[in-house]
Amino acid sequence: MRLLTAAVATLTLALGAQFANAAPIEIKFSHVVAENTPKGKMATRFKELVEQRLPGKVSVSVFPNSQLFGDDKVLEAMLLGDVQMAAPSLSKFQKYTPALQIFDLPFLFKDMASVDRFQQSPEGQGLLDSLRKKGYVGLGYLHNGMKQMSANSPLRVPADAAGKKFRIQTSDVLQAQFEAIDAVPLKKPFSEVFTLMQTKAIDGSENPWSNIYSKKFHEVQSYITETNHGVLDYMIVTSAEFWNGLDDDVRAEVKKSLDEAVAYGNQIAAEQAAADRQAVIDSGRTEVIEITDEERQKWVDAMKPVWSKFSDQIGEDLIQAALKANEG
């Protein structure tokens, strides 16, 4: 009996020591943009909050600038456990959930407040769950901002883009959007955009201000037209296996930290867009073109027919819900 008690005590001690020395759970957070962007800052804030609240239990390593994975590989790598979190743009989920293509429809959302209202609506929140059957958990939306069109020649009306090559994200809606103005869309990774512009392998692209400024696209594009024709936002995702494997209390703290970091990212996104737009103008490296209402209407007329091509895949109800969000 005494022997058994001693054995149990030794085992308890050993397990206790092992637990005390257990390596923290590591969350690798991979993204493709620079650190001085809404997504970069959100990821850094998330790391700080998690490590403050779960010291020694969870550590977060943030890999910006496509250092670990580009968006084409990151979701597959997540299912293999090589990365635990990422926040790809909503344009990169079409092969997982066609309905998410709604965010790429040109001129659908009036402004970022409308995007936010739609994301917070029951329909928008439902889309976060749409990846579950593929093994992912959508943890929230993060804003970047509205996209602007850039090129090596001035783009005032859609005809100015005809025949020009534009880099796009991996999205069929964006492909159709550029085809609708007789341009040539090329799906390419974000990490290649600067070089493609610099070597003139492409003529132009579309991006929000923070991506343009942080990646210096304005230094290799002579004109940026303020079109605000679409949105570039993100979904923060993790794998269901990783997420469900966390202890309840740990998962709750991680989620709380993420929600706070996302709220911070969303709060600074508009300020960052305004500041980066101004910094691009002040740099004098490119010309920012403000179009008239009449010119803008020409872009709307040319691009809006794209909606009907995708309304079956996306769902007409969802499109109506997005339009309702424009009403305030």
Binding site for ligand LMR (CB under 6 A): 32-33, 89, 144, 169, 190, 207, 211, 232
Contact 304, 106 (CB under 8 A): yes
User: How is 172-183 classified by DSSP, letter by letter?
Assistant: HHHHHHHHTTT-
Nearer to ligand LMR, 32 or 173 (CB): 32
- To the nearest whole angstrom, how small is the minimum distance from the Cβ of residue 202 to ligand LMR? 12
Nearer to ligand LMR, 49 or 174 (CB): 174
- To the nearest whole angstrom, how small is the minimum distance from the Cβ of residue 37 to ligand LMR? 7
Nearer to ligand LMR, 37 or 257 (CB): 37
Structure tokens at 264: 């911070």
Distance CA 240, CA 137 (A): 6
Nearer to ligand LMR, 107 or 217 (CB): 217
- To the nearest whole angstrom, how small is the minimum distance from the Cβ of residue 298 to ligand LMR? 25
The three-state (H, E, C) secondary structure of 102-168, written as one string: HHHCCCCCCCHHHHHHHHHCHHHHHHHHHHHHHCEEEEEEEEEEEEEEEECCCCCCHHHHCCCEEEE
Q: What residues are paired with 231 via a beta bridge?
A: 146
- Nearby residues of 216 by Cβ (< 8 Å), 6 or more positions away: 194
Nearer to ligand LMR, 160 or 206 (CB): 206
Contact 81, 241 (CB under 8 A): yes
- To the nearest whole angstrom, how small is the minimum distance from the Cβ of residue 215 to ligand LMR? 9
- To the nearest whole angstrom, how small is the minimum distance from the Cβ of residue 247 to ligand LMR? 31
- To the nearest whole angstrom, how small is the minimum distance from the Cβ of residue 87 to ligand LMR? 7
Nearer to ligand LMR, 115 or 232 (CB): 232
Residue 277's identity, in one-letter code, is R
